[in-house]
Amino acid sequence: MKIIIVTGQTATGKTKLALEYAKKYNGELINSDSRQIYRYLDIITGKDKQLLEKVKVWLYDIVNPDEYFSSFDFVKLAIPIIKKIFSKGKTPIIVGGTYFYLYHLLYNVDTENIIPDWKLRNKLENKSVKELQTILAKHSPQLIKQLNQSELNNPQRLIRKIEILSFRAKRQVLQPRELKILLQQSKNQKKIILNKKLGINNLHLDIIGLKFEDRVSLQRSIKARVGKRLRLGAVAEVSKLLKMGYSDSDPGLKTIGYQQLILHLKGVLDIDTAIQQWINKEIQYAKRQTTFMKKDKNITWRNV
C-alpha cells in the first residue's frame, strides 16, 4: 500500500502536484494545511473550490474560525480517513505545508490534546521575545537550552511551550523526561511509525517537499500570490468575517493575511502597509517551514 505526501514551502504549487498524483494513482486528497481546515477562510488561504469537482478532498472546511484545531485533532481524523481511502482501493495523497501536522502523523510524538489557555495567552501576548524566553527558562532551564534560533525568536512557539508546561505543572505530571514537548524535535531522526498507527505492515511512503531554488524566486512568487488574492476579494472576505462576528483573537483569524487586513479595516494600517506586512510575514513563514522540514531526512526535495 502506498501513501504520497506533498509538503514544502508556501506558494510552491503543492496542490497542483497532488492533483497530478491523484489522477495518476487513482487517489483522494487529505488536506494538511492548518488554515484550509477552517470554514469561510477561502481567498486568503488559497482554497481551490473547483478542485472539489475534480477529486475528493478530505479535511477542507471542517471547523469554524472560532474553534481550536490541533495536531492531535488532525491525527485523530487523518488515520480513519487514510484507512477509508485504502478500503476503496485508492491512494491517499496528503497535501499541505503544515509540517507540524505531518510530523505528528508520521512519528511517535507526544500529541496530548492540550487546549489553549486564553487567559494565559492574553497575559503573554504583549510580552517581548526576551521576556517570553525568561519565563520559559524559569519553567524549564533544560528546554530553553535545546531550542534553535528560529524557535527562540518565535513568540507564538514560546507562548505555546509555556502554555503546555503550565498545563502539565498544574496537574503535577511534569517530569524531566517529559521536557521535550510539542514542537520539539529530537536531534536524531525519528523512525516513521505511521504503518503501526494504521495497522499495515507493507506501507510505502513517498514524501515530496517543494521549495524555491532561491530567495528571489520565493519573494516574487509570494508577492504575485498576495496580489492575486487581493484582486479576488481578500479585503471583502475579511470584512465579511468580521460582520459575521468573528474577531482577530479567534484561532482561524490569527493567521497571516487576516491579521494584517483586520488592522487595515480597523484603521490601524493603511492598505499599502498592510499588504507589505502580509508579504513579509509570508516570506518569513516560508523560511521557518524550511528550517523545520530540512531536519526530516525522509523528505525528498524538489526545486520549483
- pLDDT per residue, tens digit, the chain (304 aa), is 999 999 999 999 999 999 999 999 999 999 999 999 999 999 999 998 888 888 999 999 999 999 888 887 899 899 999 999 999 999 999 999 999 899 989 987 654 566 667 788 888 988 999 999 999 999 888 788 888 777 788 887 898 889 888 876 765 443 444 434 434 444 444 689 899 889 998 999 999 999 999 999 999 999 999 999 999 999 999 999 999 999 998 889 989 999 999 999 999 999 999 999 999 999 998 988 888 898 899 999 999 9
Annotated binding site: 8-15
Please indicate, yes or no, whether residues 97 and 238 belong to a single structural domain of this protein: no
Please indicate, yes or no, whether residues 149 and 78 belong to a single structural domain of this protein: no
Please indicate, yes or no, whether residues 131 and 228 belong to a single structural domain of this protein: no
Please indicate, yes or no, whether residues 166 and 198 belong to a single structural domain of this protein: no
Contacts of residue 65, Cβ cutoff 8 Å, sequence gap at least 6:
38, 39, 40, 41, 241, 246, 250, 251, 252, 253
Please indicate, yes or no, whether residues 297 and 198 belong to a single structural domain of this protein: yes
Residue 190 one-letter amino acid: K
Please indicate, yes or no, whether residues 94 and 220 belong to a single structural domain of this protein: no
What's the domain range around 59?
A: 2-110+190-213+290-303
Annotated binding site for substrate: 10-15
Q: Dig out the grid coordinates for 8 from the structure.
A: 514544502
Q: Which residue do the cell numbers 494584517 mark?
A: 260
Please indicate, yes or no, whether residues 195 and 51 belong to a single structural domain of this protein: yes
Backbone angles phi, psi at 209, to 5 degrees: -110, 130
Contacts of residue 259, Cβ cutoff 8 Å, sequence gap at least 6:
248, 253, 281
Q: Which pLDDT belongs to residue 122?
A: 82
Judge whether 273 lies within some domain. yes
In total, the chain counts a number of residues equal to: 304
Q: Which residue do the cell numbers 483569524 mark?
A: 253
How far apart are alpha carbons 288 and 150 in whole angstroms?
7
Q: CATH number of the domain that 251 lies in?
A: 1.10.287.890
Backbone angles phi, psi at 280, to 5 degrees: -60, -40
Distance of alpha carbon 182 from its chain centroid, rounded? 13
Q: Which pLDDT belongs to residue 144?
A: 87
Partners of 30 in the beta sheet?
58, 94
Judge whether 149 lies within some domain. yes
Q: What is the 3-state secondary structure (H, E, C) of the chain?
A: CEEEEEEECCCCCHHHHHHHHHHHHCEEEEECCCCCCECCCCCCCCCCCCHHHHCCEECCCCECCCCCCCHHHHHHHHHHHHHHHHHCCCEEEEECCCHHHHHHHHCCCCCCCCCCCHHHHHHHCCCCHHHHHHHHHHHCHHHHHHCCHHHHCCHHHHHHHHHHHHHHHHCCCCCHHHCCCCCCCCCCCCCCCHHHHHCCCCCEEEEEEEECCCHHHHHHHHHHHHHHHHHCCHHHHHHHHHHCCCCCCCHHHCCCCHHHHHHHHCCCCCHHHHHHHHHHHHHHHHHHHHHHHCCCCCCEEEEC
User: For the chain, how big is the Rg over CA atoms in Å?
Assistant: 19
Partners of 95 in the beta sheet?
6, 31
pTM: 0.77
Please indicate, yes or no, whether residues 204 and 168 belong to a single structural domain of this protein: no
How far apart are alpha carbons 270 and 146 in whole angstroms?
40
Judge whether 128 lies within some domain. yes
Judge whether 53 lies within some domain. yes
Residue 207 one-letter amino acid: I
Q: Which pLDDT belongs to residue 178?
A: 42
Q: Dig out the grid coordinates for 56 from the structure.
A: 475528493
Judge whether 145 lies within some domain. yes
Judge whether 184 lies within some domain. no
Judge whether 242 lies within some domain. yes
Please indicate, yes or no, whether residues 9 and 152 belong to a single structural domain of this protein: no
Judge whether 185 lies within some domain. no
Instruction: Provide the domain count of the chain.
Output: 3
Please indicate, yes or no, whether residues 85 and 172 belong to a single structural domain of this protein: no
Please indicate, yes or no, whether residues 18 and 92 belong to a single structural domain of this protein: yes
Please indicate, yes or no, whether residues 278 and 295 belong to a single structural domain of this protein: no
Q: Which residue do the cell numbers 488536506 mark?
A: 31
